[in-house]
Amino acid sequence: MSSKIIIFKNDRIGDLIPSVSAINLIIEKNKDKEVIIYLSEINHKMKFLFNEKNVKIITINYKLPFRNRIHILNFFIKTKISHVYILRPKNFFFLLPIFFYFKKIKFYGLCLDGKENYKRPIIFLRKFLTKFIVNDRATLKKRASREKLQLDLVKNQSDNDRFIKNYNFELSNILKKILPNNYSLIHYKKQIFEELGWGIDGLNKIIDELLRYHQNVVLINDIEPSNDNKIFKKKYNWYDFNKHESEKKDSKVLYLENLDGLDMFNAIKLSKKTIACHGTITLLGNLTKVPILDIFYCKIKNRNDYHRYKNSFHEHKPYDINYDFIIPSKNINKTIRKMKFSLKK
């Protein structure tokens, strides 16, 4: 019986995406073994990113309740395992090297250091890891991105500095039918647009600017109950992916309601440029290699805020030349002027 490779990554989508390159490198290097990836009920919709014959996906809870812990312990007892990659630094996972010390499994871990000497896991538990790398959120120095940290964790000296994979997935019949030509994609993040004082009026101004550079615009927003959805559907062409309903108007803007999973990935990939507030959408754009304009919103009131945002930027910054970013102003016209350097590319 061939030994198996285990990867723990049961977290949120925004946390999963920086791990994708490292996970796919593990899969590529172990074609002769079964690779079992533990995803959460939140991020399992992105399992298409690991669609290989030697991969099995197991869905567990994000908060890892007692029943999930018992399942993992039983699985480790009954299964021949050679390597375990802990890419979600949850304390329970770091106890496994002690529990199964007798099985001589090689454990690799992404560890976390924080302020006031906070460490996950504690130094003692790190001694049981074959190899670990630390995401040091307490440092004031420039940090490597989480993508690079995890690649450093899983690659050998002979491996390339960066594992590059082309993600080409077939379009659904729906996208083939409704996506316009030559479009930019914008993600409306309601909370940030309102904190900046832009609201939907600010969004409309940005869309008008985008239409100067592209024939069409695709608009998406967070999947949550909102009156904004009704406003968009009154003004723009729209398609609802849950109800499979649509309406066409005399508009160069297509609003995609309840867009998710593979359809969201492909809608981003086919855009000429994706514009979004820093987060899941900009990280997905990095995977698709589409040009990104990241609206990196910061609320800096003191020196600690400055260092926190600086660290967050370097931790999450996509590792790609197609990536641009701006720090937005509450003055929407000033922000649009900042955006032009990227939109002209």
The 10s digit of each residue's pLDDT in 188-213 is 999 999 999 999 999 999 999 999 99
From residue 81, alpha-carbon distances to 3, 93, 177 in Å are 5, 15, 45
The 10s digit of each residue's pLDDT in 126-185 is 999 999 999 998 887 777 888 889 999 999 866 666 667 888 999 999 999 999 999 999
pLDDT at residue 173, as a whole number: 97
pLDDT at residue 2, as a whole number: 83
Instruction: Evaluate if residue 79 carries a pLDDT over 90.
Output: yes
**Omega before 121 cis (within 30°)?**
yes
pTM comes to 0.91
Mean pLDDT (whole number) for 230-248: 96
Mean pLDDT (whole number) for 233-251: 96
SS3 of the chain: the string is: CCCEEEEEECCCHHHHHHHHHHHHHHHHHCCCCCEEEEEECCCHHHHHHHCCCCEEEEEECCCCCHHHHHHHHHHHHHCCEEEEEECCCCHHHHHHHHHCHHHCCEEEEEEEECHHHCEECCHHHHCCCCEEEEEECCCCCCCCCHHHHHHHHHCCCCCCCCCCCCCCCCCCHHHHHHCCCCEEEEEECHHHHHHCCCHHHHHHHHHHHHCCCCCEEEEEECCCCCHHHHHHHHHCEEEECCCCEEECCCCCEEEEECCCHHHHHHHHHCCCEEEEECCHHHHHHHHHCCCEEEECCCCCCCHHHHHHHHHHHHHHCCCCCCEEEECCCCCHHHHHHHHHHHHCC
Q: Where does the pLDDT of residue 83 fall: very low under 50, low under 70, confident under 90, or very high at 90 and above?
A: very high
pLDDT at residue 165, as a whole number: 82
Least confident of 102-116, 170-184, 214-228, 251-265: 214-228
Q: Rounded to an integer, what distance in angstroms lies between the CA atom of residue 129 and that of residue 37?
A: 19
Instruction: Evaluate if residue 305 carries a pLDDT over 80.
Output: no
CB contact at 8 A, 23 and 7: yes
pLDDT at residue 309, as a whole number: 63
- Edge-first strand listing for the sheet containing 292-295: 245-247, 237-240, 253-257, 216-221, 183-188, 273-277, 292-295, 323-326
For the chain, the average pLDDT equals: 92
